[in-house]
Amino acid sequence: EPEVTQTPSHQVTQMGQEVILRCVPISNHLYFYWYRQILGQKVEFLVSFYNNEISEKSEIFDDQFSVERPDGSNFTLKIRSTKLEDSAMYFCASTAGVAGAATDTQYFGPGTRLTVL
């Protein structure tokens, strides 16, 4: 069965450094998402992406964050200058159709654990 993959599984970085989290959505999917989960807290929506542009973003997704689909397969989340509070598990997800996650099933990756020291 096709699956969403994420690399790396664990990323450790120093505060102030830039990090890029990578995701490979399911190949024929059209809508892509990033979520994060700070340890012990809720899974939080960050951003959705469709047709090479941001569709929706939450208030968490400030100027420090950016997303990109650099080629036909990867979907990346960049954090420009990491802060301690960016330490979290980051999940990528994708859906097949243009209707989005409310109607189409979201498929999640296993997550990348980001630790900012």
Partner 1 sequence: AQSVTQLGSHVSVSEGALVLLRCNYSSSVPPYLFWYVQYPNQGLQLLLKYTTGATLVKGINGFEAEFKKSETSFHLTKPSAHMSDAAEYFCAVTPSWGGNQFYFGTGTSLTVIP
Binding site for partner 1 (CB under 8 A): 3-4, 31, 33, 35, 40-45, 48, 55-56, 58, 91, 93, 100-103, 105-111
Which residue, 15 or 51, is less far from partner 1 as judged by CB?
Answer: 51
Which residue, 9 or 73, is less far from partner 1 as judged by CB?
Answer: 9
Which residue, 7 or 17, is less far from partner 1 as judged by CB?
Answer: 7
Q: What residues contact residue 18 under an 8 Å CB cut-off, 6+ apart?
A: 78, 79, 80, 81, 82
Tell me how far apart the alpha carbons of residues 100 and 117 are, in angstroms, rounded to a whole number.
Answer: 36
6, 28, 65 from 111: Cα distances, Å: 6, 20, 17
- What is the nearest approach in angstroms of partner 1 to the Cβ of residue 106? 7
Tokens 């890029």 identify what position? 20
- What is the nearest approach in angstroms of partner 1 to the Cβ of residue 70? 22
Which residue, 70 or 97, is less far from partner 1 as judged by CB?
Answer: 97
- What is the nearest approach in angstroms of partner 1 to the Cβ of residue 50? 9
β partners of residue 67: 77
Tell me how far apart the alpha carbons of residues 30 and 37 are, in angstroms, rounded to a whole number.
Answer: 24
- What is the nearest approach in angstroms of partner 1 to the Cβ of residue 17? 26
